Every structure is written in structure tokens, then in C-alpha cells.
Structure 1
Amino acid sequence: MRLISLIFILFFSILLSSVIFTYFLNTQKPYVSIKGKSFNVEVAKSNKQKGLGLSKYKRIAQNFGMLFIFENKDYYSFWMKGMSFPIDIIFIRDNKIATIFKNVDYPKSENENLKKYKPDISSDMVFEINAGLSEKYNFKKGDIVKINY
């Protein structure tokens, strides 16, 4: 009887370990990939997250960005309020780059008039990365954007 109990416990432990290992192996972090360049992303879904954006960071890693997801396509405008570093703003429509604003500078004072950045065509996502990366990797309008979130 003891041997059967031991075999059952061993079998159950192996089965449970296998399920847990498979779960963690298949869990991927959110990312955006354009022209073979992949970026880990923080996904902004709520209005609060979208309003704060990257302004909560002093700087970000070269392979990091923020992805803003909207339910409908529209002409969403972005600004640099509270930002402390320059970025590239990439508007996405149907998993393709719709508009890119490169090297968008941050405000030098709180009183500075903030420019609003709007896409040429309605978009359903916006991707923000460090300034200069769109140029460095030659991202352009029409490039396919692979997204996992």
C-alpha cells in the first residue's frame, strides 16, 4: 500500500511539474517587432495609463517602448507633457506604420507650449520608443508591425 501511495505521489508531482513548466514556458512578455527589431513593451490600455505614458520614466532601455491600444481607429493626438527625454512616436493602423514623428523633444520648462502630434490617417495603436531608433532602423510608413500583448 505504501508503494502504491509513493508511486501515486511521484506520478502526481511529475504531472504537476510538467503543467507548471509548460505554462511558464508558453508565457511571453509583450513585445513589438518592426523589421526584425524587437522591443519589450509596457501596454497602456486604461485612460490613466495612456495619460501618464512614458512620463513616469526618467529614461528607458534601447529595447523598450510603450504601446497604446485603442478600441477604435481615430486621429489620437499625443503630446510630451511631463516627459524628460525625447522619443519617436509611431502611429499604427492595421498592424502597419501609419505615421512616424521622429526625435520629438521633451519640454524644457513647465510653461512651454506643448505641440500635439496627430497621425496622417486614423490609427488604433501608438508605439513610443527612444528618439532616433526609427531613423537608426530605417522604419518607414507601411512597414509591418508584429505585436504580442
Structure 2
Amino acid sequence: MERRAGMVVLATVGVLVGGALVLQSGLWVDLVGTGEYERGTVTVTEGEDTADRTETPVGTATTGTTVAVRENDAGATLATVEVRIADTGTKRYVGLSETDSLAPDEGMLFVHEEVGTHAYVMRNMSFPLDIVFVDADGTITTIHHASLPEPGDETLHRYEGRGKYVLEVNRGWANRTGVSVGDRAELPERVA
């Protein structure tokens, strides 16, 4: 009887650990699917103001810009994203925390003064994110699939990466579009 109870506990722990790994890695997107999305490179070009495109106004929005991501250096475009630019300390701190949701092709591009190791947290967020770190030359260095903190959990998990830019988009975006580490983000001259 004790052996059977031990096996049940061990199996339960295995299922929980496996489920946590699938959720954290973003593999759930491949299993469940998320609809149809354009694949390709992310290119950034200057555009119109997109501050009013979400239900909740974002105090951090400056002007809208499109970011495109390409597979490696000269590959096909994997995706394009309309982004708001967060280029000051205050804008980077607030980020998307005052936003209720993003459309599949929307995000925020955080611009730091110089290349370094930066950490992002899910402070006051309403939805999970992919956090994509981009080096000064546009190379994607790290991609995190960030979950919302559990209700009542005051601890903020730090998502760290090296780069000068950080692109935040809906969680699962990197999996849907095929964007991965080593691909290139095309950045506009005004933020590069």
C-alpha cells in the first residue's frame, strides 16, 4: 500500500514538473496553437502615434514605430510589430503596466542609453509577455516567455538579458512567428 501511494505521489510530481516546463518554455503555444500570424523579419520604421490603439491610454507612448525581425542577417522577414517607444527611465519603468491588452502585432520597444545586462519584471501587468533582448547591432540575444505572477505573490521574477533594446510583445509571439535568438531586428535611425 505504501509503495502504491509513493508511486502516485511521484507520478503527480512528474506531471506537475513537466507541465511547469511546458508553460515556462512557451511550448504550450506549439501544442495549443494561437491562430494564424504573419511570419518574417521585424523591421522598425517611423510611423504614426499609436497611443490610442489600446483600451487603456498608455502614458509611456511617444510615436508609433514599426519593428521588423528578419531570420539571421539576410533572411526572410519573420514578423512586424507596431511599437511604442520607451526611451526614458520613467517610460521604461511604467512600460506596458498601464495597458489592458495588445493586438497580435503591437508591442513596446525599450531603448537604453547603452548596451548592458538589463532586467525586466511583470510589475502590475494584465497579460503575459515575450521579452526579447536585442543587441546594439539588432541581433536578438535572449527571449523570455514571461508569465503573470500568481495572485497574492508579491515577488517579482527578474527576466534578464544583454542588449541595448528590449521588445515586449504578447506571450507566444516569438513561437508564432518563428523569431529566435540570432535573428535580427531592424531598428530605425532615431533609436539606433
Instruction: Please give the range of the TM-score, normalised by the shorter of the 2 chains.
Output: 0.7 to 0.9
**Equivalent of 2:129 in 87, 101, 104:** 87
How far apart are the structure 1 equivalents of 2:118 and 2:166?
Answer: 9
User: How much does 1:105 deviate?
Assistant: 0.8
Question: What is the aligned partner in structure 1 of residue 139 from structure 2?
Answer: 96
Matching of residue 58 in structure 1 with residue 77 in structure 2: no
Matching of residue 32 in structure 1 with residue 72 in structure 2: no
How far apart are the structure 1 equivalents of 2:151 and 2:99?
Answer: 17
How far apart are the structure 2 equivalents of 1:129 and 1:73?
Answer: 21
> Secondary structure of 2:178's partner?
coil
Matching of residue 147 in structure 1 with residue 182 in structure 2: no
- TM-score under structure 2 normalisation? 0.59
How far apart are the structure 2 equivalents of 1:129 and 1:43?
Answer: 13
> Secondary structure of 1:73's partner?
strand
RMSD in angstroms over aligned alpha carbons? 1.4
Q: How many residues align?
A: 120
Bigger relative contact order (CA 8 A; separation at least 6) = 1
> In terms of mean alpha carbon deviation, does 30-39 or 43-52 score higher?
30-39
How far apart are the structure 2 equivalents of 1:127 and 1:109?
Answer: 25
List alignment gaps of at least 5 residues for structure 1.
1-26
How far apart are the structure 1 equivalents of 2:47 and 2:147?
Answer: 32
> Secondary structure of 2:174's partner?
helix
Amino acid corresponding to residue 125 of structure 1 in structure 2: Y
Matches within 5 A, 1:1-149: 28-29=47-48, 30-35=65-70, 36=77, 37-93=79-135, 94-102=137-145, 104-119=146-161, 122-148=162-188
User: How much does 1:110 deviate?
Assistant: 5.0
How far apart are the structure 2 equivalents of 1:117 and 1:126?
Answer: 11
> Secondary structure of 2:93's partner?
helix
List alignment gaps of at least 5 residues for structure 2.
1-45, 49-64, 71-76
Higher CA-based Rg: 1
Distance 1:147 1:73, change over 3 A: same
> Secondary structure of 2:97's partner?
helix
- TM-score under structure 1 normalisation? 0.75
Identity over aligned residues, as a percent? 28
User: How much does 1:113 deviate?
Assistant: 1.2
Check conservation: 1:80, 1:106, Cα contact below 8 A. Answer: yes
- Name the structure with the higher helix share: 1
